[in-house]
Amino acid sequence: MGFLLFFPYPELTLKDVEKWDLTNVDLLVLSACQTALGDELGDGKEILGLGFQMQRAGAKSAIASLWSVDDGGTQVLMNNFYAVLANEPKITKAEALRKAQVALVQNADPITGATVENSLGKNLSYPYYWSPFILIGNGL
């Protein structure tokens, strides 16, 4: 059985999450490893992990990951994502995620398109860094 840890609270299970009311949540970002994966059922329902549970609890949309992620690469991707959302108020969440991903592929600032220095020493253009994240739910 899986559980969540929210300091300083005790373990929370997915059964606990089912009781949450997230109807006022527009976007929930779960940037940890494999937050979009659930059980391996083999019938397409395996991508019904924590992100899906949050949507079932009322969140309009969630961003979650399909596999293990790199902390540094994820930080750059999420910084890009939030920068796009903040600087382009009419953009959809899906387009903001796409622009953040393209910025990693092109090693560029997501707003200006200018080339940026990568202080991580990693080639963030590899799909491992930018492609594990999916948007579940309403991408508007």
Q: What does the pLDDT look like over 94-115, one tens digit per residue?
A: 999 999 999 999 999 999 989 8
Per-residue confidence (pLDDT) for residue 1, from 0 to 100? 38
Q: Does the residue 133 lie in any domain?
A: yes
Q: Does the residue 5 lie in any domain?
A: no
Q: Does the residue 3 lie in any domain?
A: no
Q: Does the residue 119 lie in any domain?
A: yes
The tokens describing 41, both together, are 């059922």
Q: Does the residue 12 lie in any domain?
A: no
Dihedral sign from CA coordinates of 107, 112, 117, 120: negative
Q: For the chain, how far is it from start to end, CA to CA, in angstroms? A: 33
As a residue count, the chain comes to 140
Q: Domain containing 73: what range?
A: 20-137
Per-residue confidence (pLDDT) for residue 55, from 0 to 100? 80
Residues of the chain predicted below pLDDT 50: 1-2, 46
The structure's pTM equals 0.80
Backbone angles phi, psi at 128, to 5 degrees: -55, -35
Q: Does the residue 13 lie in any domain?
A: no
Q: Does the residue 8 lie in any domain?
A: no
Domains held by the chain: number: 1
